[in-house]
Amino acid sequence: MPFVRFAPRLFAYIFTSLLQKQKYSAIIKNEAKNAGFDFCGISKADFLREEAPKLEQWLKDNRHGQMKYMENYFDKRLDPRLLVEGAKSVISLLYNYYPSQIQNPDAPKLSKYAYGTDYHEVIRTKLNHFLSALREKIGSINGRAFVDSAPVMDKVWAQKSGLGWIGKNTNLINKQNGSFYFIAELIVDVEVEYDGPVKDYCGTCTRCLDACPTNAFVSPYVIDGSKCISYLTIELKDEIPGEFAGKMNNWVFGCDVCQDVCPWNRFSQPHNEPEFNNKNGLLNKSDKDWADITEETFSVIFKHSAIKRTKYKGLKRNIKFIKTGRS
């Protein structure tokens, strides 16, 4: 019978292919570690069927506020194969940014990820080195690197790759080290052995939902981005609505409340990235220092900082609002 004659060769091919996928997966994870990433997981590049109706409804309900770019490239956001020709795998990576020091408690607050050099600059460099290392070990690879810079649903892919679960606060939570991580991806045309998702360990806890100063959570796992302090202090370019007066908890760039109260972040460990350390005495600045900041000083201090996203005008608006309740 023809099948019996070809069966040994077919099984040998399948076995060899499986070994190659396992080998490539091991190389990727080893090189990710060498590049300095804390965690690496891999998923099959495919259409995110379950996410499509959720994203569509979220946009329809205008939960994205003025972030109109979220409406762009809807199909690409859900299917990485439309971003990278021939894509077969999404490599998800986590990079720790939890600091060893925090700000002067009386000063206007900055999100912890903004203490040092802009993460886009730091991680993009690491991603490029990582991709080069993979090409040396595996061969020709067509791929693109992303770090919060394209229509990629990074948290969803990280969850599918087993790096954690998306918590009720909509952040990716890693069971070993919490949620103070940057998420990055390589989308490549190499087929490898894939990882799978992990269990959701939020349980009955609602600390993040209860602690949100602006009641931005519509329900567990759903956030109204237009009410989030991070949106109000960074993405929003107009005046901050008066309804949020007295609710900003002194935050002027981003907000960490829903992460700070999360029990899983008791496992957070300080990062080892020098570029993320405090720059220009930022953590020691007083309330008066922030109130008196000039545009020239802003340009010097935040030249390579994520804080430049809000621009000088935006930062002054935020500082004024937490003091007076008016933009």
Please state, in angstroms and rounded to a whole number, the distance separating the CA atoms of residues 196 and 175. 15
pLDDT single digits (tens) 252-267? 999 999 999 999 999 9
Residue 321 dihedral angles phi and psi, to the nearest 5°: -65, -40
Which of 235, 80, 213 minimizes the C-alpha distance to 143? Answer: 80
pLDDT single digits (tens) 270-313? 999 999 998 788 899 999 999 999 999 999 999 999 999 999 99
Percent of the chain exceeding pLDDT 70 equals 95
**What sections of the chain are H helices per DSSP?**
2-34, 51-60, 74-78, 119-138, 154-160, 207-211, 229-230, 257-260, 287-291, 295-301, 311-324
The verdict on whether 148 is a catalytic residue reads: yes
Of 121-125, 130-134, 171-175, 281-285, the range with the lowest mean pLDDT is 281-285
Q: Which of 46, 79, 148, 260 is catalytic?
A: 148
